[in-house]
Structure 1
Amino acid sequence: MAFTNVPIGGNINTKIWEPLEISLEASGDFVSPYTEVSVWIDLTGPAFRKRVYGFWNGGRAFCIRLTAPRVGEWTWFSNSNTADIGLNGRSGRILAEPQTADDVSANPNRRGMIGISADGRGLQYADGTPFFLIGDTWWSVPTFKFPLPQGERHHAIGPDADVRDYLEFRRGQGYNCVALLAAMPAWATDGFDSDLYDDEGTLLRNAWRKPNSRSPMSMHNEGGRPFLFPGKVPGFEEVVPDYDRVNPEFFKILDRKMESIDDAGFVPFIEVARRDTGPAWKKYHDWPNSYVRYVQYVFARYQAQNAIFSPIHYDYYLKTIPAHEYNEPCNAVIEQFGRPPFGTLLSANSNPSTLANFGEDGRWLDLHQTGNTREHYSYWWMAEMYHSKPTRPALAGEPYYSGLYNLGTPYTLGKEGDTPEDDAYVRSGMYGSLLNGGYAGYIYGAEGIWQSAVEEGSRVFMWDAFKWSSGATVQHLKTFAFVRGTDYRALVPCSDSLANARNGPDLGYEGWAYAAGASDRSWYLLYFEPDCADAIRLRGFSGPESYRLTWFDPRSGQWSEPGGIVTVSADTSLHLPALPDRQDWGLMLERVSF
């Protein structure tokens, strides 16, 4: 939904959670408005009194984006760190009405900002409706690779598809989130190597390589690139931009795509920058202040839309600065500007996990996440986050990519996309993460989509990967988890209670089983990968309890009718029955009494 302009000195009627924009024009010029000027409004409403920061939008234009989270009367008053009369002393009044049932039915984002459920394990809209995140990895959304919609014309998924077409396609498959990177600023097919260093060995970029080239893929849009040139790195002024000169025209294109995302009812996971920017940013700019400024710029630009923010895309712990060094600017954003004013959660795609990388010092963090880590051994990081304190929800970001072929070097453990074997590997990441405590949801990814492959010579074009069968089965994860509504969030991961459940290597996706159970042992959810052992036992019982079996087919998303009964044996373990076949299966155990 496009922003509604709020009149200066007047009143406006709106509905709660509608995105609004106050446009201010400075009366004078500034040498560097991006670095010199901080503008804000003091916003007051029902049980709400906060400072809401704005951003420079080019020329003399400054914007403050806001929303009314509660019904009632709201007032605002503008100010800045300057004496500019165009920015200071402006005011207005907003009257917010409730959303109707038809409104929220048409677009779930009208339910309000995504927050944390009362149990601390899951996510929900502001009105309390559960939100189980089902996402896709579209890092390059801001760029030309996801074209803007032109008029009302719709296209089949193919070379002519635009961002709206892709959103509608995924919405039909049950998705409600896309993960994107706001900026990959030093990436262009410029004749320099994709991995580039200065004369002292400092990393300048670690980019995805364009097919049949040593240079990166280009990451521009109709507005140019996210920062301006020349930059500050000697000898590379036209390769690495000046991170103290943002380009608003680039972000205006992203604004329009964010409108399409919101219109589709999706909640974007927005990461402000990729970790390969860190070394040059820290060495050649005023770190951490320069990075703090940029993080806040992106937050302020999108704070009025339903989203989840990340101050850093930390998908790899090499070719960057140490993770703990990002805590300084990330914490500083919160200390200087406050948490996002309308409740936006903060997370990060983090390899191996946000807990491992940012730890107790990551005071900015709300939502835990694993990132770009895969195979059996990686699910341990999810369980570690589940058991950590304070309790935070956890999300699986970037486990196994469908059709995964190359991550800088060939990936030898993957399968060809759009095959039954590959589909099962994807499900290992889905269900293995869930039953180790990833109760907030899951972000899918696929070869061709994660790098948005549109270039000639690409091994898989992204529009072909969108059609792979694995992407259509992701929605079944929610069907499995919500078999008893949100009760699954009270289950405790207990895969270690399974005996004979690891019939495969750590670096693989076959032969393992996973479990999570209620603390009173009243019910369990289990998942079995293909080629599990025939005699798996569930331990942790103290008496002859009996359980009813209900099987789940993760290929179709169908639960069977409740079936047979199994009873705890004299050895105090539950001997699970043989699987229906050698494929992967889900199972629910519910205690029964006679």
Structure 2
Amino acid sequence: MRPLRSLLLALVAVTIALATHGQGNWPHGRLTVAPDGHYLQYEDGSPFFWLGDTAWELFHRLTKEEIIRYLDNRMEKGFNVIQAVVLAEMDGLYRPNQYGDIPLIDQDPEKPNESYFQLVDYVVQSACDRALFIGLLPTWGDKVTRMWGGGPEVFTTENAYKYGHWLGQRYMEKENIIWILGGDRPAIHDSVDTRPIWRAMARGILEATSGKALISYHISGGASSSQQIHDEPWLHINMMQSGHGSGHDVPVWDWITRDRAMVPTKPTLDAEPNYEDHPVNPWPQWDPENGYFDDYDVRKQTYRSVFAGACGVTYGHHSIWQFWSAREEKINHANRYWTEALDRPGAFQVGYLRQLIESRPSAHRIPDQTIIVDGQGEKGQHIRAFRDDAGSYLMAYIPQGRTITVDVSSLKAGALRGWWFNPATARTIDMGTLSHTRPLELTTPTQGFGNDWVLVIDHKAARYSIPEF
């Protein structure tokens, strides 16, 4: 990214944050599920597109100065949700944070350590000042059911309720919190059913917040919460983890389609697709002999899940979730310190995705594969498309540039305007006026592997401008 563009983004982000701060920090109210059940919005009806980042060890491994550096960087890039864990995965109950504090006294969820939670308070408020949500995980899943990882298992239904209630009461006035249970664990595995514990924790949070909490569930890799707990009344948003363990081009678009069709209707998103700079080799080896996922892999998964109808998406970088630095031991072949990973290409590019979605009315997006008449493709070539319910625009993500045929009959009759968007660079190319009389055969500006493009066709009468990114 050019330095001037970076500076302008920073200035815009700071201006927005300061304006928000001057209006009581959160002018649109709390986050809620939109009336259609598929997307999210604020209490005042303003649409919300979830662009998350995985910062699991944020409370556990960083100083205040480092936390502010991280939050400022993510605000500048357009992220609006930071996913972080109170009782962290990496020996989070025994190893203190950077100020010498552990979260629980005697590893007892009924005895939270006030000094540790003062740092959590600081992060929540610092995020609020920057118009950022904290996707707050009360605990990593190994504290409920170990399966793998360090544990220990410390939760019962009784103390989970009390811990959830204590947390909910502490943050009941904070409008920038999205609650996320689960922590990389299934709710049911083999003969172990942990749903009673999560129900108890959710009940505590909801009672303490007078039912105002918005709750989701971060499940383990290769799964969606919809497959185990969709009918739980406390679950407001389904989350899936297409993850890092199944190679390239996991068909997350099919998972999104499945989740959207379930009743009752709930928003869904991929809260952990393949991390940028994570080894491609399958779990549990994580050996980098097959290389690392790069920004192109990130774009393919994030765009196709969103275009399939997700309410947003979460980005992740392998060094940032663990905040690897000179004072930490690297996990699973991280290849650079977190400070060096802040400005990796994928982190900029998911910000372009949010800007693209928000450049058009986004509250009533409808996934529609009938738009692609020819050239849809499979796996790495698979295209996803959507339109709005008013017939004013459509978009299609093409992961490998080529000639395709699109049906524009879903758009209102009349002149159309087409343009190409490069998701790697945010470059746009105006195609000018297009015909509405028949399916259109169009060829992307560049073709082949690594050359992904977004096709946007607007109804001219809508007078949408081609945005400057």
TM-score, scaled to structure 1? 0.63
Answer yes or no: is the 8 Å Cα contact 2:388–2:394 preserved in 1.
yes
| Alignment partner, residue 91 of structure 2 | 187
Answer yes or no: is the 8 Å Cα contact 1:538–1:576 preserved in 2.
no
Answer yes or no: is the 8 Å Cα contact 1:324–1:358 preserved in 2.
no
Answer yes or no: is the 8 Å Cα contact 1:308–1:346 preserved in 2.
no
| Alignment partner, residue 365 of structure 1 | 235
How has the CA–CA distance of structure 1 residues 499 and 308 changed in structure 2, closer, same or farther, with 3 Å as cutoff? farther
Q: Distance in 1 between matches of 2:80 and 2:112?
A: 30
Q: Distance in 2 between matches of 1:551 and 1:175?
A: 24
| Alignment partner, residue 250 of structure 2 | 376
Per-residue deviation at 1:114?
1.8
Per-residue deviation at 1:243?
4.3
Q: Distance in 2 between matches of 1:542 and 1:268?
A: 38
1:273 equivalent in alignment to 2:139: yes
Per-residue deviation at 1:355?
1.2
Q: Distance in 2 between matches of 1:166 and 1:479?
A: 21
State how 1:10-25 maps to structure 2 within 5 Å: none
How has the CA–CA distance of structure 1 residues 333 and 381 changed in structure 2, closer, same or farther, with 3 Å as cutoff? same
Per-residue deviation at 1:369?
2.1
State how 1:347-366 maps to structure 2 within 5 Å: 347-351=216-220, 352-360=223-231, 362-366=232-236
1:344 equivalent in alignment to 2:213: yes
Per-residue deviation at 1:533?
4.8
State how 1:334-483 maps to structure 2 within 5 Å: 335=203, 338=207, 340-341=209-210, 343-351=212-220, 352-360=223-231, 362-373=232-243, 375-405=249-279, 408-410=284-286, 416=292, 422-439=294-311, 441-454=312-325, 455=328, 459-483=335-359
What code does the residue aligned with 1:310 have?
Answer: W
Answer yes or no: is the 8 Å Cα contact 2:145–2:194 preserved in 1.
no
Q: Distance in 2 between matches of 1:496 and 1:323?
A: 43
Answer yes or no: is the 8 Å Cα contact 2:242–2:250 preserved in 1.
no
| Alignment partner, residue 453 of structure 2 | 585
What code does the residue aligned with 1:579 have?
Answer: T
Once the two structures are superposed, residues 376-407 of structure 1 have per-residue CA deviations (whole angstroms, 9 ceiling, x without a partner) of: 31221112222222222233311121111275
Q: Distance in 2 between matches of 1:540 and 1:554?
A: 26
Q: Distance in 2 between matches of 1:109 and 1:322?
A: 43
State how 1:197-208 maps to structure 2 within 5 Å: none
**Secondary structure of 2:64's aligned partner:** coil
1:168 equivalent in alignment to 2:72: yes
| Alignment partner, residue 9 of structure 2 | none
1:177 equivalent in alignment to 2:45: no
Q: Distance in 1 between matches of 2:275 and 2:384?
A: 20
What code does the residue aligned with 1:472 have?
Answer: F
Answer yes or no: is the 8 Å Cα contact 2:181–2:215 preserved in 1.
no
Q: Distance in 2 between matches of 1:102 and 1:186?
A: 37
Q: Whose Rg is larger?
A: 1
How has the CA–CA distance of structure 1 residues 108 and 424 changed in structure 2, closer, same or farther, with 3 Å as cutoff? farther
**Secondary structure of 1:581's aligned partner:** strand
How has the CA–CA distance of structure 1 residues 548 and 462 changed in structure 2, closer, same or farther, with 3 Å as cutoff? same
Per-residue deviation at 1:345?
0.9
Answer yes or no: is the 8 Å Cα contact 2:89–2:142 preserved in 1.
no
Per-residue deviation at 1:516?
1.3
Equivalent pairs counted in the alignment come to: 424
Most deviating of 368-377 and 460-469: 368-377
How has the CA–CA distance of structure 1 residues 286 and 147 changed in structure 2, closer, same or farther, with 3 Å as cutoff? closer
**Secondary structure of 1:112's aligned partner:** coil
Once the two structures are superposed, residues 126-168 of structure 1 have per-residue CA deviations (whole angstroms, 9 ceiling, x without a partner) of: 333333222211111111x22113xxxxxxxxxxxx1111111
State how 1:560-579 maps to structure 2 within 5 Å: 560-566=429-435, 569=438, 574-579=439-444
Per-residue deviation at 1:107?
7.1
| Alignment partner, residue 12 of structure 1 | none
RMSD value over aligned CA atoms? 3.7
Answer yes or no: is the 8 Å Cα contact 1:140–1:452 preserved in 2.
yes
How has the CA–CA distance of structure 1 residues 266 and 335 changed in structure 2, closer, same or farther, with 3 Å as cutoff? closer
Per-residue deviation at 1:539?
9.3
2:167 alignment partner, one of 269, 284, 298:
298
| Alignment partner, residue 116 of structure 2 | 250
State how 1:277-292 maps to structure 2 within 5 Å: 277-279=143-145, 287-292=156-161
Once the two structures are superposed, residues 201-228 of structure 1 have per-residue CA deviations (whole angstroms, 9 ceiling, x without a partner) of: xxxxxxxxxxxxxxxxx56342522223
| Alignment partner, residue 115 of structure 1 | 32
Q: Distance in 2 between matches of 1:186 and 1:173?
A: 27
**Secondary structure of 2:228's aligned partner:** helix
| Alignment partner, residue 226 of structure 1 | 103
Gaps of 5+ in 2: 1-17, 462-469
1:493 alignment partner, one of 338, 355, 367:
367
Q: Distance in 1 between matches of 2:435 and 2:276?
A: 36
1:136 equivalent in alignment to 2:53: yes
Answer yes or no: is the 8 Å Cα contact 1:315–1:372 preserved in 2.
no
Q: Distance in 2 between matches of 1:303 and 1:311?
A: 15
Q: Distance in 1 between matches of 2:366 and 2:420?
A: 20
Q: Distance in 2 between matches of 1:542 and 1:111?
A: 31
1:512 alignment partner, one of 373, 379, 382:
382
Answer yes or no: is the 8 Å Cα contact 1:345–1:366 preserved in 2.
yes
How has the CA–CA distance of structure 1 residues 449 and 356 changed in structure 2, closer, same or farther, with 3 Å as cutoff? same
Once the two structures are superposed, residues 161-193 of structure 1 have per-residue CA deviations (whole angstroms, 9 ceiling, x without a partner) of: x11111112211122221101112771799xxx
Per-residue deviation at 1:497?
5.8
What code does the residue aligned with 1:355 have?
Answer: S
Answer yes or no: is the 8 Å Cα contact 1:299–1:309 preserved in 2.
no
Per-residue deviation at 1:294?
1.9
Answer yes or no: is the 8 Å Cα contact 1:279–1:321 preserved in 2.
no
Answer yes or no: is the 8 Å Cα contact 2:136–2:179 preserved in 1.
yes
| Alignment partner, residue 146 of structure 1 | 62
Q: Distance in 1 between matches of 2:191 and 2:422?
A: 40
Q: Distance in 2 between matches of 1:189 and 1:408?
A: 24
- Which structure shows the higher helix fraction? 2
How has the CA–CA distance of structure 1 residues 410 and 546 changed in structure 2, closer, same or farther, with 3 Å as cutoff? farther
Answer yes or no: is the 8 Å Cα contact 1:549–1:566 preserved in 2.
no
What code does the residue aligned with 1:585 have?
Answer: W
Once the two structures are superposed, residues 334-389 of structure 1 have per-residue CA deviations (whole angstroms, 9 ceiling, x without a partner) of: 556637337231112234222123121x1101122223536331221112222222
